[in-house]
Amino acid sequence: MRRTYRVASVLGIPVMVSPTWFFLAALTTWILAVQIFPGWIEDQPRPVYILMALASAWFFFGSIILHELAHSVVAKLYRIPVRSITLFIFGGVAHITREASRPLAELLMAVAGPVMSALLGGVFFGVWWLAGSNTHRPIDAVIVWLAFTNIGLAIFNLIPAFPMDGGRVFRSLLWLLTGNYHRATLIAAWSGRIFGWALMAAGAVSLAGVDVYITEGYLGGAWLVLIGVFLENAARQGIFQNRVVRKLQAYQASELMLRNPPVVDAGMSLAALARGVMDLNPRVCYFVSEHGRLAGILSHFQIKSVHEALWDSTTAGQAMIPSAKLRAVGPAQPASDVLMEMETDELTHLPVVEGGQVLGVIGRDRILGVLLQAGYLRTA
């Protein structure tokens, strides 16, 4: 999922497609055209089965987008930014930039997707009923498959295995009951790991030729193993992220910030600011001033992004991150929240402000240094 392609935008949220999705789309279409629909309706020409499969796959992936859009809309209602919706080999995911701050918000965000899928299933069943509830026409087979698939998707997603929707519902309920977010996350994530192992085991048994009822054949067994591996890895990452957040919450922004970084004029060249200085302080950071006001921040990241041959002709004002793109943080803000702010807006530094006065600047490298010292990260 590292490289994705933007194909649309819904309610201002980009819809992205991973190259791995094309495998899922092709596999879904092939199974429908070769196995499922010929078994439902016999004696149809092959082009009919192909058209049925293409239409079903098209509406199915549209349903997945609506499922993820439901999560995204609730997140935006709670003022949580949504970066994108991405289709990939295991379906779809909404890239919500940070976790909810309250269990009720988490609960509503998590349950919105399955509710949308269940509603879509009901709508497809309603359309089929209005069309006469016929079981012998190709279009009826498509509509009924879409109805069952969306309802099945809702039920599967409600399994209490983190990070699936049901696992997030489970975590929100634990969080609500215990008042402890970290404990709730740990329990929910372990439920996800156990479920992942169970799927892998079921897939392995199916590959050995034993009927496990939930799937059949070598392809179904292999698919269960892949899904199990994906879920177990995602749940394990959830446990790791939980440890990271707990560690960073022990630090405030004021403890990690660089106090009173040097202030430079926006018209100064990068050459004057970087040559010699970068050798002594590879993590140098400047506040950039223009007409006596804070105009932005210039760190070693921005300096290094400009080729050294252009340093003489590039000013600090041209290379800096403008203040309009910066989101100030308070001195008492936990380092975990600061890192999340940086990840949300893809920033490397943020000013630390109190009462309108800039106290210092905190860099991503300072926060990651804490995790490196704690052994959570490895040096390259």
Secondary structure (DSSP) of 152-196: HHHHHHTSS-TTSHHHHHHHHHHHHHHS-HHHHHHHHHHHHHHHH
Residues in the chain: 380
In a domain, 259, yes or no: yes
Residue 163: cis peptide before it, omega within 30 degrees of 0: yes
Q: What is the pLDDT of residue 379?
A: 62
| Pairing of β 357-363 and β 349-354 | antiparallel
**What residues form DSSP beta bridges with 16?**
6, 86
Residue 294 · residue 270 · CB < 8 Å: no
User: Are residue 236 and residue 295 in the same domain, yes or no?
Assistant: no
In a domain, 378, yes or no: no
Token code pair at residue 9: 């935008």
Q: What is the pLDDT of residue 291?
A: 82
Average pLDDT over residues 148-176: 95
Average pLDDT value over all residues in the chain:
90
Per cent of the chain over pLDDT 90 is 57
Burial 15-24 (b: 16+ CB within 10 A, else e): bbbbeebeeb
Judged against a pLDDT cut of 90, whether residue 102 lies above it is answered with yes
User: Are residue 171 and residue 274 in the same domain, yes or no?
Assistant: no
pLDDT digits (tens, 9 = 90+) for 217-269: 777 888 889 999 999 999 999 999 899 989 998 999 999 998 888 889 999 99
In a domain, 379, yes or no: no
pLDDT digits (tens, 9 = 90+) for 323-374: 888 888 899 999 988 988 888 777 888 888 887 678 888 988 889 888 888 8
In a domain, 34, yes or no: yes
User: Are residue 93 and residue 145 in the same domain, yes or no?
Assistant: yes
Domain end, chosen from 158, 190, 217, is at 158
In a domain, 288, yes or no: yes
User: Are residue 129 and residue 209 in the same domain, yes or no?
Assistant: no
User: Are residue 136 and residue 264 in the same domain, yes or no?
Assistant: no
pLDDT digits (tens, 9 = 90+) for 282-309: 888 888 988 877 888 898 889 999 999 9
Edge to edge, the sheet with strand 91-96 lists 5-10, 13-17, 82-88, 91-96
Domain end, chosen from 105, 139, 158, is at 158
Average pLDDT over residues 99-117: 94
* CATH number of domain containing 264: 3.10.580.10
User: Are residue 55 and residue 180 in the same domain, yes or no?
Assistant: no
Radius of gyration of the chain (CA): 26
In a domain, 380, yes or no: no
In a domain, 177, yes or no: yes
User: Are residue 147 and residue 274 in the same domain, yes or no?
Assistant: no
User: Are residue 181 and residue 327 in the same domain, yes or no?
Assistant: no
**pLDDT classification of 187: cutoffs 50, 70, 90:** very high
Domain end, chosen from 112, 141, 158, is at 158
In a domain, 331, yes or no: yes
User: Are residue 72 and residue 38 in the same domain, yes or no?
Assistant: yes
pLDDT digits (tens, 9 = 90+) for 9-59: 998 899 999 999 999 999 999 999 998 999 888 888 999 999 999 999 999
Q: What is the pLDDT of residue 47?
A: 94
**pLDDT classification of 2: cutoffs 50, 70, 90:** low
Q: What is the pLDDT of residue 1?
A: 44
User: Are residue 21 and residue 108 in the same domain, yes or no?
Assistant: yes
User: Are residue 238 and residue 259 in the same domain, yes or no?
Assistant: no
User: What is the domain extent for residue 134?
Assistant: 1-158
**Phi-psi region at 292: left, alpha or beta (left = phi > 0; alpha = psi -120 to 50):** left
Indicate the number of domains in the chain: 3
User: Are residue 133 and residue 17 in the same domain, yes or no?
Assistant: yes
